[in-house]
Structures are given as C-alpha cells and as structure tokens.
Amino acid sequence: MDNHGQSRRALSVQAHLPDRKQRKMAYFKWDESCSVRVPEFDQHHQHMFSLGNQLADAMTSGQGEPAVSNILDELVAYTQFHFAAEERFMREEGFLALTQHEAEHLELTRRVFDFQERHRRGQAKLSIELILFLREWLTEHILVTDKKYGLNRLTIPPIT
C-alpha cells in the first residue's frame, strides 16, 4: 500500500475512535436553569457537578480504584461543607422549611456515606448505582429543594 493509502486508512480508523476529549462525557451539566439565585451556592453546585463528572469519568474510563476513592472522598468532604453552609444561610434568613431541608441533607449524607463505606469494603461495582444517585442528588435536590431558599428571597417583605 502506498503512503497515501495508509494515511487514508488511518484517517478512517480515527474517525471511529473518539479522542479523549470526546470520550469525556459531561454527565452533569450546570446551566442558568440550575441557578438557586444565591451566587455562593451556584458556585458550590458547579463544583459539585464538576466532582460528579470527574467521578463518573474515573469510574467509566478505568482510572482505577484509588482515583475513584480520592474523588469520592473529596465529594463527601465538600458536600458536608456545602450542606453546613446552606443550613447556616437558611437559619440566618429565617427560612421556614429549614427542618425539611435539613432532613433531606441528612438522608443524602447517609446515602453518600454508605456508598463511601461500600466502596472502601471493596464493593467496587457501584458505578451505575452511584451515577444514578448523583444524578438524583445533583439534579432533584438542587432543582427542587435548594431552589426554594432562592425563591424565598424573592417574596415581598412585610410593610413596617
């Protein structure tokens, strides 16, 4: 085969092999529709989406257990920091549904600790389950529950 033929064949093979950038799927995409109208927490959520993507990428691209563990540990630690910050904010704002929101945080924390513990015990085949959990958490909790404290700010203050 001449050089021209070889390069043509190489090109057609490459066309079927997505490069690394294309293989990196964004499982969790933050856009304005995810905004909770509190810039500090939008930033937190964006960081959590990024950690969720890193975690999904580590699990699906065979980066190995240490990489998955490190990102999972970081996500757990960041989540605790974020939940505490949100709860402090809601308390300061006198948000009425605080107890219900705290209960959701507690349940999400319990479940994420459970994933971390199972991962530590070597039950590594959690990939799909964990990605689905993160999707539920990062979308449903933020889009439904977190948005309420942002909306709470928009209510008209009483006339004094």
Q: Is 146 a binder of Fe ion (CB under 5 A)?
A: yes
Site for Fe ion in 49-88 (CB under 5 A): 86
Which C-beta is closer to Fe ion: that of 23 or that of 88?
88
By the 8 A CB rule, do 48 and 80 touch? no
The whole-angstrom separation of Cα 78 and Cα 112 is: 12
Alpha carbon separation from 93 to 28, 35, 43, 75, 129 (Å, rounded): 29, 18, 19, 26, 35
By the 8 A CB rule, do 131 and 17 touch? no
Site for Fe ion in 5-44 (CB under 5 A): none
- Of 49-57, 88-96, 113-121, 141-149, the segment contacting Fe ion by CB under 5 A is 141-149
Q: Residue 154 is which amino acid?
A: L
- Of 4-12, 61-69, 127-135, 138-146, the segment contacting Fe ion by CB under 5 A is 138-146
The whole-angstrom separation of Cα 111 and Cα 126 is: 13
CB of 141 to Fe ion, least distance (A): 6
Binding-site string for Fe ion from residue 82 to residue 121, where x marks contact by CB under 5 A and - marks none = ----x-----------------------------------
CB of 63 to Fe ion, least distance (A): 27
The whole-angstrom separation of Cα 155 and Cα 159 is: 12
Judged by the rule CB under 5 A, the positions of this chain that interact with Fe ion are 86, 146
